[in-house]
Structure 1
Amino acid sequence: MLPNLIKSQVVARFNEFITKQLLEGALTTFSNYSIQDEDVDVVWVPGSFEIGVTAQRLASLGKYHAILCIGAVIRGDTTHYDAVANSAASGVLSAGLQSGVPCIFGVLTCDDMEQAINRAGGKSGNKGAETAMTAIEMASLFEHQLK
């Protein structure tokens, strides 16, 4: 459907058990819409905190029509969760606003591992797949209607 729209995905290695499943959901969705593997670049970063700055750098390259930002922040016993979740959201938003490239927020923010598993292909579906659909829609909108 949209093979000429190049996508990039920034994926956090922290909680990789979850982020790999989200990535697979996104890649399957892209494939279902005839977006070839060679039109999708995957960039791994240490954690969700590093997603925003990486998305900003990728957007500045001028070769991507959308950037998918995938991560998983799971609440623990400290306030670290709040800082990382808020920073990830702010970073992705800032990258999109500053670059003009749609940067799609696909970072799960869950209370526990069970919630994360359910949102990464469990009973709540795969949020990576949903995020890929948002990237397709936004890339198409920017490329065809907002040019």
Structure 2
Amino acid sequence: MAIFEGSFTTASNLKVGIVVARFNDLITNKILSGCLDCLKRHGLDTSETSETLDIVWVPGSFELPIAAKTLLKKSNYDVLISLGAVIRGETSHYDVVISEASKGIAQVSYDYDVPIIFGVLTTDSMQQALERAGIKNNLGWNYALQAIEMGSLIKNLN
């Protein structure tokens, strides 16, 4: 019996793309910061001149899938991370955005056989979003760890 697992020890051999929604950038900037901190501490070059990391900004979470798809057409990434923050309001817009963003990201991942970490916060309030972006815990770090694990796992399986 073979058992396959991803590695958490190093990201230095991965090519990573991050797609970030600008809407609610008070939150997404903090999540991105946590994500980059984790990747850097695990050996990925996060400098301005890095050839192993690309960051793409989009207007909102709804646009994450098309940017992810375009990135994957452009270059061979081992893993992508999609980051956004959708906070429930008084209309059904929240439900539409989350539904389409999650379905779109999943479809792009399946179509290109590349893991895409779904790092879109879905919260009922700004306070909840802030707690997940660094006040209590920065989930950006967790999303980066998931990316390292899945990127290395898929590389090992191929």
Q: Distance in 2 between matches of 1:42 and 1:119?
A: 21
Using structure 1 for the length normalisation, give the TM-score: 0.96
Amino acid of the structure 1 residue aligned with 2:24: N
Bigger Rg, which one: 2
Task: Provide the aligned length of Structure 1 versus Structure 2.
Answer: 145
Q: Which protein has the bigger helix share?
A: 1
Higher relative contact order (CA 8 A, sep 6+): 2
Between 79-88 and 60-69, report the one with greater CA deviation. Answer: 60-69
Q: Distance in 1 between matches of 2:30 and 2:144?
A: 13
What percentage of aligned pairs have identical amino acids? 44
CA RMSD of aligned residues (A): 0.8
Using structure 2 for the length normalisation, give the TM-score: 0.89
Deviation at 1:16, TM superposition (A): 0.3
Moved over 2 A (4+): none
- Superposition pairs of residues 24-43 of structure 1, within 5 angstroms: 24-37=33-46, 38=50, 39-43=52-56
Match of 2:140 in 1: 128
Deviation at 1:62, TM superposition (A): 3.7
Q: Distance in 1 between matches of 2:119 and 2:85?
A: 8
Deviation at 1:2, TM superposition (A): 2.9
The yes-or-no answer on 1:92 pairing with 2:101 is: no
Amino acid of the structure 2 residue aligned with 1:48: S
Identify unmatched segments of 5+ residues in structure 1: none
User: What is the aligned counterpart of 2:28 among 1, 19, 30?
Assistant: 19
Q: Which protein has the bigger strand share?
A: 1
